[in-house]
């Protein structure tokens, strides 16, 4: 039986070696340890311990056909989990690791099939968060870790979010404060030409293309085949999310106002998740609002997105009104999460 969940505060800049050593010891005993990465909190297990990896799926209520990302401490450790490191992957790794980039590599036979859901590839990254790196260094094994949320729910960007979803199902939560990037890593497959972005994330398409030339996004169907966990509906708050159309702050605000009036009239005042420019244009008096910050600060928007969804969900609204962000840079990853959280539209 799992032991009760403990939450240990840890300095995100200078994590205590004693706390890291204790967490590493628990992880090596087969326990689950949630920890901050620069993107979101991960739910970690020793990647070589098939039983512990199975417990990740149970804790998250995640289907076994949705493979996990394996986190390593240094680039030499690739050989512990993969049989090859193609030149293009190594090039990207040399520039973006440690950081929010996950690369698909041929899976090493030593890795339990549970980690990769039986696929012949393994998804690998080196996180840049000092707590994640410290934990990896202290335990000396690769750590398999999906985002530390219940399957399908909004990803966790704080220890409180992890506790909300996984209290009692995880032994240790390392609380290193809010995560700086706020959305997950970019998942890339460099084997096809052009290389494919399976999931947009913290490293942008523009950054990657500057290094390896043109890439393409996986089509939804293809995404599902290559990356079975990519269900259309994901990252979803309990409330219904509606994305209101518009090209400018004024037109988006008019569309939100329109929806809000109709919802309020039917006794369901909505929450609003929008950038500051849109908030300033709103006319109707509404339910709770969450300001994502200025529309040009995509880094800030990415960092606050999941917090905003969870905050409005906690305010018990039935409906959240939001809008798409500028479609470049991190805006593309933010829009991917918004579309998935909104899918399928419910009336
Ligand atoms: O930023 C992140 O990537 C966070 C932190 C904790 O590292 N992790 C994360 O893991 O987002 P998860 O499990 O929530 O998302 C992993 C994604 C899923 O869409 C999964 O299907 C895909 O990566 N994936 C994992 N292994 C794969 C593989 N061998 N082939 C294709 N897709 C894979
Ligand atoms: Mg996830």
Q: Which of 52, 92, 320 is nearest to 209 (CA)?
A: 92
- Alpha-carbon distance of 153 to 150, in angstroms, equals 6
* Crossing angle (nearest 10°) for helices 17-28 and 130-139: 50
Q: Could you tell me if the CB of 73 is within 6 A of ligand 1?
A: no
pTM of the model: 0.96
- Alpha-carbon distance of 259 to 248, in angstroms, equals 17
Q: Could you tell me if the CB of 39 is within 6 A of ligand 1?
A: yes
Q: Which of 271, 296, 297, 301 is nearest to 284 (CA)?
A: 271
Residue nearest to atom 33 of ligand 1 (CA): 227
- Whether omega before 33 lies within 30 degrees of 0, making that bond cis, reads no
Which listed ligand is nearest to 230 at the C-alpha?
Answer: 1
CA of 122 to the centre of ligand 2 (A): 16
**pLDDT digit string, tens, across residues 135-193:** 999 999 999 999 999 999 999 999 999 999 999 999 999 999 999 999 999 999 999 99
Q: What integer best gives the mean pLDDT of the chain?
A: 94
Question: Where do we find the tokens 């079975």?
Answer: 228
Q: What was the pLDDT predicted at 235? A: 73
Q: What was the pLDDT predicted at 162? A: 98
**pLDDT digit string, tens, across residues 215-238:** 999 987 776 555 555 566 677 778
What percent of the chain stands above pLDDT 70?
95
Ranges of beta strands (E only) in the chain are 6-9, 33-36, 41-46, 69-71, 101-106, 121-125, 143-144, 172-175, 186-189, 195-199, 215-217, 240-243, 271-274, 289-291, 319-322
Q: What was the pLDDT predicted at 252? A: 98
Examine the pLDDT at 346 and tell me if it is beyond 60.
Answer: no
Examine the pLDDT at 345 and tell me if it is beyond 70.
Answer: no
Average of per-residue pLDDT across 4-9:
97
Q: Which of 321, 253, 262, 326 is nearest to 294 (CA)?
A: 326
Q: What was the pLDDT predicted at 227? A: 57
Q: Could you tell me if the CB of 124 is within 6 A of ligand 1?
A: no
Examine the pLDDT at 203 and tell me if it is beyond 60.
Answer: yes
Report the helix count and the strand count for the chain, using DSSP H and E. Answer: 13, 15
Q: What was the pLDDT predicted at 301? A: 98
Domain ranges of the chain: 6-226, 240-342
Structure tokens at 311: 């905050």
Domain covering 240-342 in this structure, CATH number: 3.40.50.11030
Residues 6+ apart with CB under 8 A from 239: 271, 312, 313, 317, 318, 319, 320
Q: Could you tell me if the CB of 117 is within 6 A of ligand 1?
A: no
Q: Which of 89, 64, 71 is nearest to 211 (CA)?
A: 89
Q: What was the pLDDT predicted at 223? A: 60
Atom of ligand 1 nearest to the CA of 121: 29
- Alpha-carbon distance of 243 to 143, in angstroms, equals 36
Examine the pLDDT at 284 and tell me if it is beyond 90.
Answer: no
- Alpha-carbon distance of 146 to 66, in angstroms, equals 10
Examine the pLDDT at 256 and tell me if it is beyond 50.
Answer: yes
Q: What was the pLDDT predicted at 3? A: 76
Examine the pLDDT at 202 and tell me if it is beyond 80.
Answer: yes
Q: What was the pLDDT predicted at 234? A: 74
- Out of 59-63, 280-284, 324-328, least confident range: 280-284
Say if domain 6-226 classifies as CATH 3.40.50.170: no
Q: Could you tell me if the CB of 331 is within 6 A of ligand 1?
A: no
Q: What was the pLDDT predicted at 2? A: 59
In the sheet where 319-322 sits, what is the strand order? 240-243, 319-322, 271-274, 289-291
How sure is the predictor about 43, in pLDDT bands with cuts at 50, 70 and 90? very high
In the sheet where 172-175 sits, what is the strand order? 6-9, 172-175, 33-36, 41-46, 143-144, 69-71, 121-125, 101-106, 186-189, 195-199, 215-217
Q: What was the pLDDT predicted at 25? A: 98
Examine the pLDDT at 283 and tell me if it is beyond 60.
Answer: yes
Which listed ligand is nearest to 40 at the C-alpha?
Answer: 1
Residues 6+ apart with CB under 8 A from 221: none
User: On the CB side of 102, how many CA atoms lie within 13 Å of its CA?
Assistant: 27
**pLDDT digit string, tens, across residues 10-37:** 999 999 999 999 999 999 999 999 999 9
Number of other residues whose CB lies within 10 A of the CB of residue 347: 3
Q: What was the pLDDT predicted at 222? A: 72
How sure is the predictor about 347, in pLDDT bands with cuts at 50, 70 and 90? very low
């Amino acid at each position: 039986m799992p032991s009760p969940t403990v939450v240990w505060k840890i300095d995100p800049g200078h994590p205590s070696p004693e706390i890291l050593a204790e967490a590493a010891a628990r992880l090596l005993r087969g326990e689950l340890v949630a920890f901050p990465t620069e993107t979101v909190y991960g739910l970690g297990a020793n990647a070589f311990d098939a039983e512990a990896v199975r417990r990740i799926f149970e804790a998250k209520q995640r289907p076994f056909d949705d493979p996990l990302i394996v986190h390593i401490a240094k680039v030499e450790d690739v050989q512990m989990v993969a049989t090859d490191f193609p030149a293009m992957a190594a090039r990207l790794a040399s520039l973006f690791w440690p950081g929010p980039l996950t690369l698909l590599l041929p899976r090493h036979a030593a890795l339990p099939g549970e980690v990769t859901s039986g696929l012949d590839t393994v998804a690998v990254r080196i996180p840049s968060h000092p707590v994640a790196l410290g934990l990896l260094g202290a335990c000396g094994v690769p750590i398999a870790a999906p985002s530390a949320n219940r399957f399908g729910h909004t990803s966790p960007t704080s220890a409180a979010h992890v506790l909300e979803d996984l209290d009692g199902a995880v032994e240790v939560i390392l609380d290193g404060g809010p995560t700086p990037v706020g959305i997950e890593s970019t998942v890339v497959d460099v084997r096809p030409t052009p290389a494919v972005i399976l999931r947009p994330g913290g490293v942008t398409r523009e950054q990657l293309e500057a290094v390896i030339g043109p890439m393409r996004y996986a089509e939804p169907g293809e995404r599902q085949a290559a990356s079975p966990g990519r269900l259309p509906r994901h990252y979803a708050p309990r409330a219904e999310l509606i994305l209101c159309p518009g090209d400018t702050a004024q037109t988006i605000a008019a569309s939100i106002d329109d929806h809000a009036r109709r919802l309020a009239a039917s006794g369901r005042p909505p929450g609003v998740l929008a950038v500051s420019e849109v908030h300033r244009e709103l006319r109707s008096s509404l339910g709770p609002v969450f300001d994502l910050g200025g529309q040009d600060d995509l880094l800030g928007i990415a960092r606050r997105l999941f917090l905003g969804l969870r905050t409005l969900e906690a305010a018990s609204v039935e409906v959240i009104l939001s809008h798409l962000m500028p479609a470049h840079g991190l805006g593309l990853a933010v829009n991917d999460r918004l579309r998935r959280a909104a899918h399928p539209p419910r009336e």
